[in-house]
Amino acid sequence: MVLSEDELKKEIKAFTESHSESVKSEEYNQFRSEVMPGRFTLYEKACNFCSNIVKLSPDKKKLAELQEALETCHLNTTPAGVTSFAILFPIAFILLGVALSFTLFSLIAPGSSMFFMFMFIIFGLILIVPLTTLPMLLANNWRLKASNQMVLSVFYIVSYMRHTSNLELAIKFASDHISPPLSLDFKKIMWNVESSKFKSVKDSLDDYLSRWKKYTPEFVESIHLIQSSLLEPSEKKRQEALEKSLSLILEATYEKMFHFAQDLKEPITMLHMLGVILPILGLVILPLVVSFMENVQWYHISVLYNVFLPLSVWYLGKKILSTRPTGYGQADITEVNPELKKHTMLTMKLGKKEVSFNPIWISAIIFLVFLVIGIMPLILHLTSTVSGQFFDIIVNEKWQVISTTDPEALKAAKFTFLGYKESKDGTQLLGPYGLGATLISIFIPLGLALAMAFYFTARTKKLVKIRAETKALENEFAAAIFQLGNRIGDGLPAEIAFSKVSHIMEGTKSGQFFDLVTTNLSTLGMGVEDAIFDPKHGAITKFPSALIESSMKVFVESAKKGPEIASQSLINISTYIKEMHRVDERLKDLMSEITSSMRSQINFLAPLISGIVIGLTSMITTILITLGNQVTSFSSSNVAGTTTGLLELFSDSIPTFYFQIVVGIYVVQITYLLTTMLNTIENGYDPLNERFMLGNFIRKSGVLYSAIAFAVIMMFNIIAATVVSGLVLTG
């Protein structure tokens, strides 16, 4: 049967509509699964699973906001799924926590089951709020990462459209040369057209830009200017519209970053006071509080300092950085060249073979060794019995180092190694209170810091060196391609032009790059495109830079349209690279005061204050214990009745051993959080530099804290021993 034209159109339309979703799900989801992190997939599954159990609809006011957030970060779930997960997960968390409190924790820490049950209930209830708004937080993170690539994306689109006035091809070119998440957004624009969700790229692009109007209007305006260039009647006006689009986003970025830098001082100061200074100084009075309050244990303080405070600093930091405007984030070079992922592994030669393994295993061994050393006082206490009595190593009044099991000698000692003592009710031994145990406990936060530092440094050291060489090339590249453009504009073939520029710039990174291209052209007989982009021998493999790669892609594409267009394209790229670099340097100047302050907090102030406070805590605890022992001895004499009230004032204090571990771990945690914030303020989304900074800063702050804590604890305990030697209660 022969169909008429109208009938054929109806058949094609029906087929397209019935298969558009399958095309979208098969192709777009395949690409999406390659670039989306695994934690997103896990969150999606959890939300969908909870909505299948109990489907809870969100408030109508939040429905649109949740839907926009889910679409922004490409999450395959629904607002109902998010709401169901936000309610069901905390309920499950509370029930599991209560069950653990009555079983496991009651055995590990007798009498603490009610405390842990209360904490699980509080945590579970608090979790409802952040889980309800988690898609908004993820969307903000997505926007932060995406906005960091917007200037480059406009640069790529403009560079391509200078020689080829085709918006669809320009967006595809940009999506191929920027990293996720913005590349995912751009590819989604194309998939929406291919899957017939929109009729044209313009419609799909307009729908996408509508989500950015209230966040980065300068990006929307720049894209609209690019779109308007397609309608310009003359080539001159078309080029002017393209130039205006890039200059607009550059200037708007500078203005927004200027205001951001001004507004950032107050919240960063507040964060430093609430997250670093006040919590650490609060430790000074904690020994006094604990000594006069019963039932306060070290794990109560650990929940406050190692759970609540880090989470509060993290949340405040996220809120502060969510207002950061568009920047110039650096892509992980392993995304530009996946072959470089091998440099994130450690290699070891076994005979003639090289074995690669994850540095996390070495980090785990480092931490375990330091942990065993740090908990040695606890291990020795379990094994240090002589005829049923515990022995200890002490420094007596004559400054002699001896081991003894005599309780009176232990009480009279100037310093002890373990320093266990009976509780006030005489039912158990408490400790370790000894100076030796306190000093050895420093190995635990030191081991954690060194293990984390080794892991981050081992995974980034080689990559940072490669990127430093690439950055050196990028800094010279504007001048290099300007010269290349001039040589090609003089009528020289590209092969000869590369050779000329490599000789002129001999001894520089740009000279090395062009020399590699020349070698591939002359020695290996490659064409220009293969000489630059060949997977094995291409010059770009030695310098994995998205900026250089895209510039050369533009050159290769424009060269197909003639040497004049190729020359003009290179000269224009040179101009824009210089302009972007100029604005980038101005932004760094704006942020320098804040970033230098944060660096001093991370590298010096936080570990210094923490180390001094731990020394003070150790001294106060030593004095209070000595006073308590003397009051106990005095109360057991003939005038016991007169000291009953005084004795009741003293409770069983928390050993400095545990105090130090809690504070040391908090120093590592706060260093981690402040370093991630510093990197985001300075560089936007730059995961490679963040991990490299973490390796350096955690090592420095961990070692500095440990050294200061060791020295101050020794010094203040000697002072405490001198002070308490003169305190003698008499009847």
Residue 556: per-residue pLDDT: 82
Question: What contacts 598, CB < 8 A, 6 or more positions away?
Answer: 268, 674, 677, 678, 681
Distances (CA, A) of 616 to 245, 392, 666: 60, 24, 17
CB 337 within 8 A of CB 541: yes
Alpha helices per DSSP H over 636-655: 644-648
Type of residue numbered 465 = K
- Write out pLDDT tens, residues 497-531: 888 888 888 888 888 888 888 888 888 888 888 88
| Helical spans, DSSP H, in 133-216 | 134-147, 150-163, 167-177, 182-194, 201-209
The token duo for 29 is: 């989801």
Overall average pLDDT of the 125-135 stretch: 86
User: Which residues lie across from 386 on neighbouring strands?
Assistant: 389
Identify the DSSP state of 178: S
pLDDT band at 703 (very low <50, low <70, confident <90, very high): very high
Structure tokens at 297: 């244990």
Are 159 and 554 in contact, with CB atoms under 8 Å apart? yes
pLDDT bin (cut points 50, 70, 90) of residue 17 is very low
pLDDT, mean over the chain: 78
Residue-wise pLDDT for 198-209, tens only, equals 888 888 998 888
pLDDT of residue 702: 94
| pLDDT value for 564 | 80
Q: For 450-478, what is the mean pLDDT?
A: 84
Tell me what pLDDT residue 2 has: 47
User: Of the candidates 644, 653, 645, 659, which has an alpha carbon nearest to the alpha carbon of residue 624?
Assistant: 653
Q: Where does 601-686 have alpha helices with state H?
A: 606-635, 644-648, 656-683
Q: What CA–CA distance (Å, rounded) separates 28 from 184?
A: 9
Lowest-confidence segment of 99-103, 544-548, 669-673 by average pLDDT: 544-548
Mapped onto helix, strand or coil, the DSSP state of residue 415 is strand
Helix (H, G, I), strand (E, B) or coil at 52: helix
User: What's the pTM?
Assistant: 0.76
What per-residue confidence (pLDDT) applies to 25?
45
Match 């006040």 to its residue by tokens. 278
- pLDDT higher than threshold 50 for residue 366: yes
Place 10 in a pLDDT band, splitting at 50, 70 and 90: low
What would the pLDDT profile of 637-681 be if each residue is shown by its tens digit? 544 444 455 445 555 677 888 889 998 999 999 999 989 888 888
pLDDT at 229 over 80: yes
Q: Reply yes or no on whether the pLDDT at 387 is more than 70.
A: no
- 6 falls in which pLDDT band (50, 70, 90)? low
Smallest CA-to-CA distance from 430 within 390, 403, 395, 402 is with 390
What is the distance between the alpha carbons of residues 384 and 392, in angstroms, rounded to a whole number? Answer: 8
First to last CA, the chain: 121
> Higher-confidence residue: 545 or 233?
233
Rounded-to-integer distance, Cα 602 and Cα 612, Å:
16
